[in-house]
Amino acid sequence: MPYLHLDIPQNLPSGTKRALAEKLCRLYAEVMKTQLWRPNVGIAELGEDNLFHLARGGGLEPITMVLVEFRKGRPSEWRLELARRIVDICVETLDVPRNSVLIEFTPHVGDEIYRDGQWVADWAPGEAEA
């Protein structure tokens, strides 16, 4: 935890996935004020014609879905900045339309997250400096 899970409607070369994951890890640590080693990224390549929503005009359109699991406690302004910058990275790296990147945040308390043999601590200001 944190975990950024991307469902994408395409297949990518390994180098592109690795670059995307590194950008997202660095971004998350910077914006959400945590240590660089904490973020985890998963990329599920669902392939063409496997991930949609209904557009405002009523037709199906492909989307990129990003789920962000995080320890609660951050201001909503941080999450908004993170979302906007995730969209920027997806547009640049995946070459998808900006409005097709959807992001959902799910907050958790520390005792819902197990790592290294124990529950993790709740997020606290100053964590990035630790």
Contact 55, 61 (CB under 8 A): yes
Provide the domain count of the chain. Answer: 1
Residue 9 φ/ψ, nearest 5 degrees = -90, 40
Q: Residue 38 maps to which CATH number?
A: 3.30.429.10
Q: Which residues contact 22 (CB under 8 A, 6 or more apart)?
A: none
Mean pLDDT (the chain) is 92
- DSSP element (H, E) containing 86: helix 76-94
- Eight-state DSSP code of residue 69: E
The string of pLDDT tens digits covering residues 29-58 is 999 999 999 999 999 999 889 999 998 888
Q: How many CA atoms lie within 13 A of 97 on its CB side?
A: 6
Full domain range(s) for residue 88: 3-129
- DSSP H or E stretch at residue 17: helix 14-31
